[in-house]
């Protein structure tokens, strides 16, 4: 186990090291162009760069080999990446060898070597990315009309419109994996090795070799240990058919580390970001913590509404094509009655508001308290005073407040303490001494 931990530890340097040969190889190939003056210094740098490309590719390949020993990767997917990586090392070494000054090699040979190396570099990178991020990683964000041509058909179930509190981690995510790859040999009628995976009792009890699943203990969970062995090992599971994918093993690992609950729902846990991406990619489950602007549901605005905003001297944009919430910037120097009336009319739609370099009164700023979905407010370089901002305490979703170059004073701290949603407040060039800002950073860490 210690040796496996060590190989995994050093193997995880592979993603870091792979960037070195990429840089050195591209630089070495560039040196073959006719842009450089061929002198002694050039040939020395030229040779050293090819040598570094070869050595860094070899080190990267070795670390990749160590990483592959953890058993997380399907052999059929891993082998092409390994073979192409070894070929890249060999051709990089050849590239260095034929550029030694002791040899006179035709330039056509060097060009062929360059083309082969660049092709292998692209192939190795693509295969490596597919191993780690899934086969759809490269095509995940292509335009929708093209996505169907590239997208693989590996998505198991679509939970896109299902509430998280009705999705069972075990029943809906883990158990289908077992059913597809384990139950054929470990069921009520045929329980190879004494292991019956057709029931929760059988999973926890395990078989002749030990417990099948032990919550929060990967090492003692025999099922996980078997599916992550080397695929050349006689005890590797499943012994035939399609092995567990890297992504499936990640999900299994997460479930066990979270305690291997058989009743827990997705609403009751907070998966790490890598697991969130897997759940979204494979099951359509978007469980990331969403900002308030993504939770708001409002009816779309009409073209005439946008014309009204423009006539009132507001530059506007929607947060996205599917979200009617508005980002408004006032282009005037003083708020007019017409502008105030427009702000009041569209108050629920305003989530970002920029009134910088603008003059207004306390009475006029009362309109801010009507903006229930306001998350960002820019008042920099305006004539705003602390007393004008008392209405902000009613804004339960305000996250960013810019007050730089205004007349606010130390009394603003009391107002800020009553707005728990705040994440950042800018106070540069105000009447507040730096010492006062530092003294309040303990209770108001978002001050800048």
Residue 168 neighbours by CB distance under 10 Å: 16
In a shared domain, residues 262 and 198: yes
Domain end call among 283, 314, 331 = 283
What are the C-alpha distances in Å from 380 to residues 152, 204, 328, 387, 420? 50, 61, 15, 16, 21
In a shared domain, residues 90 and 126: yes
In a shared domain, residues 190 and 238: yes
Name all contacts of 75-79 with Cβ < 8 Å and 24+ positions apart: 75/231, 75/232, 75/243, 77/127, 77/130, 77/131, 77/245, 77/246, 78/131
How many domains does one find in the chain?
Answer: 3
In a shared domain, residues 62 and 182: no
Looking at residue 137, what is its pLDDT? 62
CATH of the domain at 354: 3.80.10.10
CB-side neighbour CA atoms (13 Å) of 28: 32
- Is 362 a member of any domain? yes
Looking at residue 311, what is its pLDDT? 94
326 backbone dihedrals φ, ψ, rounded to 5°: -110, 145
In a shared domain, residues 170 and 275: yes
Looking at residue 153, what is its pLDDT? 46
- Is 121 a member of any domain? yes
In a shared domain, residues 266 and 309: no
One digit per residue, pLDDT tens: the chain, 448 residues? 445 456 667 767 777 788 888 888 888 888 777 666 666 677 778 788 889 989 999 998 888 888 777 656 666 677 888 898 899 999 998 988 888 866 777 888 888 988 999 999 988 888 887 777 666 666 666 665 555 555 544 444 567 667 778 889 999 999 999 988 898 889 888 888 899 999 989 888 888 888 899 999 998 999 999 998 887 788 888 887 788 888 899 999 999 999 999 999 988 887 888 888 888 877 878 777 777 787 888 899 999 999 999 999 999 999 888 889 999 999 988 888 899 999 999 999 999 999 999 988 878 888 898 999 999 999 999 999 999 899 899 999 999 999 999 999 999 999 999 999 999 999 999 999 989 999 999 888 988 8
- Is 152 a member of any domain? no
- Is 242 a member of any domain? yes
In a shared domain, residues 99 and 183: no
In a shared domain, residues 202 and 245: yes
In a shared domain, residues 247 and 168: yes
In a shared domain, residues 18 and 135: yes
Write out the residue range of the structural domain in which residue 7 sits: 2-142
The pLDDT tens digits for 404-434 are 999 999 999 999 999 999 999 999 999 999 8
Q: Would you list the DSSP string of 215-270?
A: TT-TTT-HHHHHHTS-TTSTT-SSSSSPPPPHHHHHHHHHHHHTT--SS-BGGG--
- Is 334 a member of any domain? yes
In a shared domain, residues 314 and 242: no
- Is 180 a member of any domain? yes
Domain end call among 79, 110, 142 = 142
- Is 247 a member of any domain? yes
Model-wide pTM > 0.75? no
Residues 398, 410: Cα–Cα separation, whole Å: 20
Looking at residue 154, what is its pLDDT? 47
In a shared domain, residues 336 and 405: yes
For residue 111, give both structure tokens: 């060009």
- Residues 28/48, Cβ–Cβ less than 8 Å: no
- Is 156 a member of any domain? no
């Amino acid at each position: 186990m210690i040796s496996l931990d060590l190989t995994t530890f050093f193997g995880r340097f592979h993603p870091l090291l792979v960037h070195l040969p990429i840089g050195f190889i591209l630089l070495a190939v560039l040196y073959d162009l006719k842009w450089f003056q061929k002198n002694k210094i050039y040939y020395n740098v030229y040779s050293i760069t090819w040598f570094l490309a070869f050595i860094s590719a070899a080190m990267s390949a070795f670390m990749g080999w160590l990483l592959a020993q953890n058993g997380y990767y399907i052999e059929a997917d891993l082998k092409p990446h390994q073979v192409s990586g070894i070929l890249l090392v060999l051709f990089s070494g050849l590239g260095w060898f034929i550029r030694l000054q002791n040899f006179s090699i035709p330039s056509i040979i060097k060009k062929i070597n360059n083309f082969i190396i660049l092709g292998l570099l692209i192939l190795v990178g693509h295969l490596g990315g597919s191993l780690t991020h899934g086969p759809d990683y490269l095509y995940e964000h292509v335009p929708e009309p093209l996505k169907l041509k590239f997208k693989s058909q590996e998505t198991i179930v679509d939970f896109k419109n299902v509430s998280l509190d009705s999705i069972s981690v075990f029943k809906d995510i883990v158990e289908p994996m077992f059913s597809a790859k384990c139950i054929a040999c470990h069921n009520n009628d045929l329980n190879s090795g004494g292991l019956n995976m057709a029931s929760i009792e059988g999973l926890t009890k395990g078989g002749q070799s030990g417990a099948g699943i032990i919550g929060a203990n990967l090492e003692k969970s025999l099922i996980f240990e078997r599916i992550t062995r080397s695929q050349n090992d006689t005890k590797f599971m499943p012994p035939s058919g399609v092995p567990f994918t890297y992504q499936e093993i990640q999900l299994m690992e997460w479930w066990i580390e979270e305690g291997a609950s058989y009743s827990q729902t997705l609403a009751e846990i907070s998966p790490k970001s890598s697991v969130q991406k897997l759940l979204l990619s494979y099951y359509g489950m978007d469980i990331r913590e969403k900002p308030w602007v993504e939770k708001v549901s409002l009816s779309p605005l009409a073209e005439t509404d946008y014309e009204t905003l423009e006539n009132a001297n507001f530059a506007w944009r929607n947060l996205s094509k599917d979200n009617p919430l508005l980002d408004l910037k006032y282009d005037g120097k003083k708020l007019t009655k017409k502008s105030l009336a427009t702000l009041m009319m569209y108050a629920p739609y305003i989530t970002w508001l920029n009134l910088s370099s603008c003059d207004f009164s306390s009475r006029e700023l009362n309109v801010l308290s009507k903006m229930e979905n306001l998350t960002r407010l820019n008042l920099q370089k305006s004539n705003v005073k602390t007393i004008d901002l008392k209405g902000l305490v009613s804004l339960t979703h305000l996250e960013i407040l810019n007050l730089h170059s205004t007349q606010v004073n130390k009394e603003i701290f009391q107002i800020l303490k009553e707005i728990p949603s705040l994440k950042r407040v800018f106070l540069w060039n105000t009447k507040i001494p730096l010492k006062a800002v530092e003294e309040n950073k303990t209770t108001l860490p978002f001050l800048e």
